[in-house]
Amino acid sequence: MRRYILKITALLSALAFITSCDFEEKNIDPNNSPTIEPGPLLTYTQLNTSNEGLAKRTQVGYCMMMVQQTASLDLNEMAGDKYLETETLGIFFTTMYATVIKNIEELINLTEDDGTNVNTYAVALIWKSYLFHRITDLYGDVPYSEAGNGYRTQNFYPSYDRQSDIYAGMVSDIEKGLSLLNETKEPIEGDILYGGDINKWKRFGNSLLLRLGMRMEKADPAQARALIAKAIQGGVMQSADDICMVQHVEGKASTENQLGYVFKSHSLLVSGAIKISKTFMDRLKATNDPRMQVYCALPDGNTDRDMQKGLPNGYDALTIRTGDPTYTSLANYSTFNPATLLLLDAPTIYMTHAEVELLQAEAIVKGYISGDAKAHYENAVRSSMQQQAIYGNAGVISGQQMEDYLSQGLFDEAVTASDKLNVIGTEFWIATFLNGYESYANWRRTGYPRLTPTNYQSSPNKGKIPLRFKYPTEEYSINLDNVTEAVNNQGEDKMTTAVWWNK
Amino acid sequence: MKRHYWNHVYMIFLLLLFSLYAKAQHLTISGQVVDEQQEPVIGASVSIRNSSTGTITDMDGGFTLQTPIDAVIQFSFIGYETVEVKATAEPMRIVLKENTQMVDEVVVTALGIKREKKALAYSVTELKDDAFRVKDSNLAAGLAGKVAGVNVVKPATGAMGSSRITIRGNGSFGSNQPLYVVDGIPLDNSDYGQPGLWGGTDNGDGISSISSDDIESMTVLKGGTAAALYGSRAANGAIVITTKKGQKGKVKVELNSSFTLDKPIVNTSDFQYEYGQGISGVAPNSQEMALLSGPASWGAKLDGSDVLQFDGVARPYSAVSKKNFSNFYDNAWSLNNNLSLSGGSESTQYRLSVGDQRYHDLFPNSKLNRNNVSLNLTTDITKRITLQASVMYMRERVKNRQNVNDYSSNGNVLLWTLPPNIDIRSLSPAVKENGDELLLSDMYVYFANPYFIANKRAQQDAKDRMLGSLQLQYNITDNWYIRGKAGGDMIYRRAESTTPMGTGYLKEGNISASSTYNGEFNAEAILGYTNRFSDIWTVSAFAGWNSMIAWSETVSAYGSRFIQPNFNVIGNTEVTSGGKNRWENYINSIMGQAEVSYKNLLFLTLSGRNDWFSALSLRDKSTPNNIFYPSVGAGLIVSEMVTLPSWFSFLKARGSWAQSGGAVSPYNLALTYSYGEAINGYPTGSINTSTIPNLDLKPLTSTAYEAGVDVRFFENRLGLDLTYYIRNTSDDIVTAQISSGSGYNNVLINAGKINNQGIELLLTGTPVRTKNFEWNSSFNFSYNKSEIKKITDNVNSFIMATARAGAAGDQGSPAFIYQEVGEPYGIIKGYSYQRDENNNIIYDSAGLPQRGEIKKLGESIHPYTLGFSNRFNYRDFNLNVLIDGKFGGSVFSGTNNMTCYLGTSKMTLDGREGGVVGKGVKRDGSVNDKAVPAMDYYMHLANNITEEFVYDASFVKLREISVGYSLPKKLIRNAGFSNVMISLVGRNLWTLYSKVPLVDPESSYTSGNAQGLEQFGLPATRSWGFNVNIQF
């Protein structure tokens, strides 16, 4: 009996074992690839630097609302209009790390020790810094040195680096990238920003250094000045052609202009959740700015200048009549121009020549560098207006219109340095419209244009334009020790706490 | 060896000779076997004692048999006491008495092995077909209240929804539902999608396809101890379904028809009907103002004056919304017909059944049709070889499953929040002249027009499914048998969902379609041995092998931005995409079981199973890809050992221990990449997952202990079955949330430890039994205490689900389902009121209550469940009443939260005039006396205080009632019928106890783990109907 049992068991075991031998093959995922090439990874990170949710909720819903480029009655996703604190504040953090940061780190891992992809590696280092400066500018101290590598390092709970250290790291990465860029080596793979143009990447890298240098002007003046000088010496953007942007393609959800896509997929023209701010509109009207017809239109597409109307910031559906007694319908207020900004093949802009000129103008006024501030200012205005042609014919601004605008002498009329800085800052604010991250960062740094905070009754931040985003709430349940350390270093996790470079 | 063989042949030859000799001295006996009611007993066994010769009674209970003179004849039938009579030449009339002892009851256990219930070392519950007389659209949902330890949830997703069955608590952060086995073949109970945080539809599950008319019995194997033989699939227990088979004898035709009418249960008394649409106590004075107000009921007191509405029409400012529900929701109904044909000869029996079920849900245009065809065949190929074949074809067609939870595309939202002065019918027809959705206000695009959802938005799916098995058993000798079985469950499902052009929140529309082929196939072989030694020891053992393959293959296509309106096909869209995904999963196993019984009073069972997993196999993996699952159990019939007082009829003690496992899905061991759409000719590629894979993954282990007693008194008139169990899960696969700073949102790790322990009590009794009247009563009660012992080394809590109400800063206060160490499985957390040390609510200077800390506000799973069933038989009448209840759990109600925010619920009446003065103290400790305008107060409350919207979800319901009448046999026999029974049936007739306003206490939007959250589901229904059963 026992003999039988043993025999049967042995037989069955052998049977089960033999039939299980090819299990290793059977557990190979048939839907996905076990390997990846550097090119597609770079394309992915460049394209996904902007996505649907972030474009709408973080960029427009908070950044642009808070600096009064846009306005909304909506209390939900457009809560930035009233400085309300919602879970949306955390999504930029959670999304960026889990999409582009993870993949740019993977790209760096892939190309770092691989001598044949030096240029791709260099671009990856520069682009990584671009991604991180957006994150740290919004939150302050964030995971950096331990970020994005959860699979390879098995570090699931990265510590937070101080913003000063992150800035140092980014500067070092950009400089390393610039030094590695070499036209004689293999071309950059998968570059949708500059089509592999090494010189444009050099100018972009230096322009990014200039941007970071200006950010650090208060926190680390010496390093800031050195960086600014070095960047300009290295060669920053020279013309509107140097613009850093993704040219979108209509026809596939993921390759389309994400802002246009989100307007369509959430019927935002109908619901009227996003409007041009009265503050912004008043400025365009007062200076007869030709960019108004590019930026603004009524929901039905009407771009007639006299019909355009901005919505005051800081009101909801129930209180709007106290802010604008003439209010009857949201359909009467301007929104993004569907014939330009919202075209599904319209580009997403990451950095423009115009803003680089304005940074130089500012640096000259502040005495960081020498030069002709007015010339840089006027270059900026012309470049910004020329640049609108990226939206097709509806975006073309004539030379005459540019000169008419400049002939108002806004820069010359500003007498004091502070007034000049206000003109430069206001121009920056108009030129970076639709790059809300940068508009918000630059406003925080310079304080220009001069904005009047809103006073929404139940807002925890009423009367104070916030200075940073709060950390995602889940970090407090998942990564408590590290986020606590960041809060101890940086100050309370409030929207009114200034980040390192803004203290 | 060879010599032995020849000995056997010689012996068989001798036996044959002997039997020929024996035949010479025979006697032919004949007669009829009847029961106590003098009704013939069909299929009773008639056999000669100590011999294998015998026969079975025919349709009239008759038999003839050749026996030796002086033979003792045994008459036996399951459920009846065996009678032994000496053979006589005269016709015999045998009366079989019903065996009330039940202890010789045979139940189907794991792997379809039939065992005597008294031999089992664990508690099982077997439900017979009559338990499903009052039908639910989902078979498993019909278990509610019937089995101790089984927790049934039917989400608020309508007739075509799924069910959530958990046995002895929730043991895993992953799947908690049991394994379903139909005629020995595991059923694929995949669900095809559940509503989540952002809404969606309940796409049904696998078990709902099975028709209750085809079910002979359903055995609930509660947890690891009973289901251990299923190894890695047993951790959550198993439900073993045996389908109806044909019986020897005349052809039997049975028709079963039922019709029920279902009415929505809406507690209109929890709404307010005094204040109309408007803002800050003011009624709209213009169409623009009406549009601004949208669904806000913060207007003036209804006074009947003419007030402009959203469409520019002035209508009386008076309450009309009470009828909105009955004006909009349809009266749902269901029609169920089943016809079966069964019969068979001595050697071959068959049953063919054809069923048709139709459900019209209460949401207009929402329906389900289901057809079942099943064939069962049993045939003895030779005396020793039996073949069993069964095949079921199931066809389901569903139209318009409804979105729940989130607002967009959820037609319930506006219906439930519409201001009292607005008639839902003013939103009909659903579209404006240009074809766009007619909204209450363009500013509220996510508050869909319910008529648009019912008539324009389209969803449909179709499922065709085959479930079949083939079993061959060869009884090699009287002691040895070999059994081979193979079978599969193959499901082909197509689904399509359209958000049409003109939809409020998605002007250009989109459409998605998918087809999925999924299922599983099992092959199994068993070599078994049974023997009895010297009337003392009985040994029954088997060893076997099983091989499983499960698969799924989905092809999907998607299109957005329709080109032409009203032509909803993917080809008519501007942007299209598609894809394909497939997986396969293999498990190979060996298993064995040995049962030894001593003098039929001590039973010992040992079993083991070893599973090899493809999902745990990968080159360079150092950890094993297989696991062993053992079990041991013992039962002792104390009443056979010691003499107990005469009123003690039976006493059994039992205990068992087992280890079993849980599922692990394939392709989770290594990182992979995927390529996406190209832009300007540049392909995109990225890491495929946001969950970090784990090379050393293994299935969870569930260790279960169980001890129990089964006691019966007063000739089995009163019975008590008590069980205590412990179920400890270790190495639970945690999809642990990690800091997104790592680049990933989750990591898969074996870390979780969850303990469950509890008691189950079953009291059965027959308080009255007379000749004409019998009252049987059954009361079951269970208590399960769960505790999360560990999540991971670094994580002591995580958010399993978030309520839609507070997500992304929308109106509503955030509520979460947390898993937290030291707490029960799934607790509800959210913002509490800020209180002082005396527990008074603190109000700020504006008179508004403030958010306190985020804390535990309730448990999402009821720890206590009970069912109380009473069956009365009086002559040809019978009455069944089932009451069930659950206690101790809570629910966060998004419906209550939102109707508070918008001023629709009754709670918002307080303080409409003169403002709300919150009960509590000011910051300085003095009594709060600050009045806040009602709108400001309640909007603030809804936005900030989760605690206010968490309710005790305990309930008691009159779950089922049926009154049946069997037409007198004499009357119907002439008409050719053998049985006609007419029943009145009712389901969910009365909620005897509930503390949740507005919605049903059982409302939940998912059959997944995220219990304890509710928002704008389909209302529960109260159904009445009748059932006719005709046999001829």
Residue A76 sits in a domain whose CATH number is: 1.25.40.390
Q: Which domains does chain B have, with CATH numbers?
A: 2-96 (2.60.40.1120), 106-188+193-249 (2.170.130.10)
Query: What's the confidence (pLDDT) of residue B360?
Result: 96
Whether B445 and A151 lie within 8 Å, measured CB to CB: no
User: Would you say residue A458 has pLDDT above 90?
Assistant: no
Q: Sign of dihedral through CA atoms B850, B851, B856, B859?
A: positive
Res B102: pLDDT: 46
What torsion do the CA atoms of B270, B273, B279, B282 make, to the nearest 10 degrees? -150
* Rounded Cα–Cα distance for residues B744 and A98 (Å): 5
Q: Does A496 touch chain B (CB under 8 A)?
A: no
Residue with tokens 């089964």: B710
pLDDT in tens, B276-291: 999 889 999 889 889 8
Best probe of the A interface among B507, B674, B679, B938, by most A CBs < 10 A, is: B679
Q: What pLDDT does residue A133 have?
A: 98
* Three-class secondary structure assignment of B951-963: EECCEEEEEEEEE
Q: Which residue has the higher pLDDT, B17 or B146?
A: B146
Read off the pLDDT of each residue in B568-575 and give the average, rounded to a whole number.
Answer: 94
- Containing structural domain, residue A186: 38-249+345-502
Residue corresponding to tokens 């009227």: A272
Whether the predicted pLDDT of B699 surpasses 90: no
Task: Give residue B2's pLDDT.
Answer: 46
Which of A212, A139, A146 shows the shortest CA–CA distance to A178?
Answer: A212
Instruction: Identify the pLDDT of residue B4.
Output: 53
- For A254, the closest of B544, B677, B688 (CB atoms) is B677
C-alpha dist (Å) from residue B948 to B32, B714, B896? 70, 52, 9
Residues of chain B positioned with their CB less than 8 A from the CB of A82: none
Yes or no, beta carbons of A267 and B504 under 8 Å apart: yes
Share of chain B above pLDDT 70, in %: 96
Predicted local distance difference test score (pLDDT) of residue B514:
96
Q: What share of chain B is helix, strand, coil (3-state, %, to 5)?
A: 15, 50, 35
Check residue B39 and give its pLDDT.
77
- Residue A264 maps to a domain: no
| pLDDT (tens digit per residue) in B615-633 | 999 988 888 899 999 999 9
Most confident of the ranges A13-22, A441-450, B340-349, B710-719:
A441-450
Instruction: Indicate the range of B74-83, B691-700, B947-956 predicted with least confidence.
Output: B74-83
Pairing mode of beta strands B851-859, B877-887: unpaired
Q: Which tokens go with B136?
A: 């639910």
Q: How confident is the model at residue B809 (pLDDT cuts 50, 70, 90)?
A: low
CA-to-CA distance for B321 and B903, rounded, in angstroms?
13
ipTM of the complex: 0.93
B278 - beta bridge partners?
Answer: B297
| Nearest-by-Cβ selection for B797 from A246, A253, A477 | A477
Express each pLDDT in B374-398 by its tens digit: 999 999 999 899 999 999 999 999 9
Q: What is the pLDDT of residue A20?
A: 66
pLDDT band, residue B117 (cuts 50/70/90): confident
Query: What is the rounded distance in angstroms from the CA atom of residue B975 to the CA atom of residue A223?
Result: 105
pLDDT at B3 over 70: no
A152 part of a folded domain: yes
Chain B hits for A75, CB-CB cut-off 8 Å, are: 809, 811
Would the CB atoms of B809 and A33 count as touching at under 8 Å? Answer: no
Considering only CA atoms, which of A343, A346, A341, A349 is closest in space to residue A243? A349
**Averaged confidence pLDDT in chain A:** 94
Angle at alpha carbon of residue A447, lines to A442 and A452, rounded to 5°: 120
Residue B1 is predicted with a pLDDT of: 42
Q: Which of B575, B590, B808 sits opposite A12 (nearest CB)?
A: B590
pLDDT band at B10 (very low <50, low <70, confident <90, very high): low
d(CA B703, CA B509): 51
B788, B819 in Cβ contact below 8 A?
yes
Q: How far apart are CA A104 and CA B898, in angstroms?
A: 42
Between A16, A84, A151, which is nearest B590 by CB?
A: A16
Three-class SS of A451-486: CCCCCCCCCCCCCCCCCCCCCCCHHHHHCHHHHHHH
Residues in chain B with CB shorter than 8 Å from the CB of A97 are: 740-743
Residue A65 located in a structural domain: yes
What is the predicted pLDDT for the residue at B742? 96
**Any B CB within 8 A of A474 CB:** yes
Mean pLDDT of chain B: 90
Q: What is the pLDDT of residue B104?
A: 62
The confidence score (pLDDT) of residue A2 equals 58
Residue type, B894: G
Tell me the range of A12-21, B213-222, B636-645 where mean pLDDT is highest: B213-222
Q: Is the dihedral of CA B707, B704, B762, B110 positive or negative?
A: negative
CB distance A270–B507 less than 8 Å? yes
Q: How far is Cα A147 from Cα A182, in angstroms, rounded to an integer? A: 28
B841 pLDDT more than 90 = yes
H or E segment at A204?
A: helix A198-215
Of B541, B612, B744, the CB nearest to A150: B744
Residue B797 has pLDDT above 90, yes or no: no
Chain B 927-946, residues with CB within 8 Å of chain A CB atoms: 940
pLDDT beyond 80 at A9: no
Would you say residue A390 has pLDDT above 50? yes
Q: Which among B829, B694, B726 is positioned nearest to B169, based on CA atoms?
A: B726
pLDDT category at B698 given cuts 50, 70, 90 is confident
Interchain CB distance below 8 Å, A478 and B737: yes
**H helices within B854-933, ranges in order?**
894-901
Flag if A271 and B445 touch (Cβ within 8 Å). Answer: yes
pLDDT (average), residues B469-484: 94
Length of chain A: 503
The reply to whether A279 falls in a domain is no
Contact A21/B at CB under 8 A: no
In this structure, are strands B72-76 and B83-86 parallel, antiparallel, or unpaired? antiparallel
User: Model confidence at A86, in pLDDT bands (50, 70, 90)?
Assistant: confident
Residue A125 has pLDDT above 70, yes or no: yes
Nearest Cα neighbor of B83 from B133, B119, B124, B41 is B41
**pLDDT in the model for residue A19:** 65
Q: Which amino acid is at B4?
A: H
Residues in chain B: 1032
B556 touches chain A (CB under 8 A): no
Q: What percent of chain B has pLDDT over 90?
A: 69
Q: CB-based contacts of B1028: which residues, under 8 Å, 6+ apart?
A: B255, B256, B257, B258, B980, B981, B982, B983
Per-residue confidence (pLDDT) for residue B205, from 0 to 100: 92
- The mean pLDDT of B545-567, rounded to a whole number, is 95
Which residues between 581 and 640 in chain B have a beta carbon less than 8 angstroms from any beta carbon of chain A?
A: 581-584, 586, 588-590, 592, 610, 612-619, 625-626
Is A110 contained in some domain? yes
Q: Is the pLDDT of residue A494 over 60?
A: yes
| Residue A47 belongs to some domain of the structure | yes
How far apart CA B712 and CA B709 sit, in angstroms, is 10
Query: Is a pLDDT exceeding 70 seen at residue B802?
Result: yes
Would you call A53 an interface residue with chain B, using a CB distance cutoff of 8 Å? no
Provide the H-helix boundaries in B534-603.
Answer: none
Number of domains in chain A: 1
Confidence at residue B622, expressed as pLDDT on a 0 to 100 scale:
85
For range B666-686, the mean pLDDT: 93
What is the residue whose two structure tokens read 């049953």?
Answer: B351
- How distant is the Cα of B566 from the closest Cα of chain A, in angstroms? 18
Which A-chain residues 192-251 have CB contacts (< 8 A) with chain B?
192, 246-249, 251
Are the beta carbons of A265 and B683 separated by less than 8 Å? no
How would you class A350 by CB atoms within 10 Å of its CB: exposed for 0-12, middle for 13-18, buried for 19 or more?
buried
With 70 as the cut, is the pLDDT of residue B1027 above it? yes
Query: Is a pLDDT exceeding 90 seen at residue B935?
Result: yes
Does B1025 score more than 90 pLDDT?
Answer: yes
Q: Please report the pLDDT score of residue B20 as a whole number.
A: 47
3-class DSSP assignment, residue A68: coil
A254 contacts on B by Cβ (under 8 Å): 676-677, 679, 684
Interchain CB distance below 8 Å, A87 and B506: no
Short-list B702, B688, B795, B706, CA closest to B743? B688
Nearest chain B CA: its distance from A50 CA (Å): 14
A436 domain-assigned: yes
Does a structural domain hold residue A382? yes
- What is the pTM (predicted TM-score) of this model? 0.86
Position B13 scores a pLDDT of: 52
Q: Per-residue confidence at B822, pLDDT binned at 50, 70, 90? A: very high
The residue type of B709 is: V
Compute the distance between CA of residue A388 and CA of residue A394 in angstroms, rounded to an integer.
9
* CA within 13 Å, CB half, A431: 31
**Token code pair at residue B142:** 């019909």
Task: Verify whether the Cβ–Cβ distance A43 to B671 is below 8 Å.
Answer: no
Facing B743 at nearest CB: one of A36, A57, A97: A97
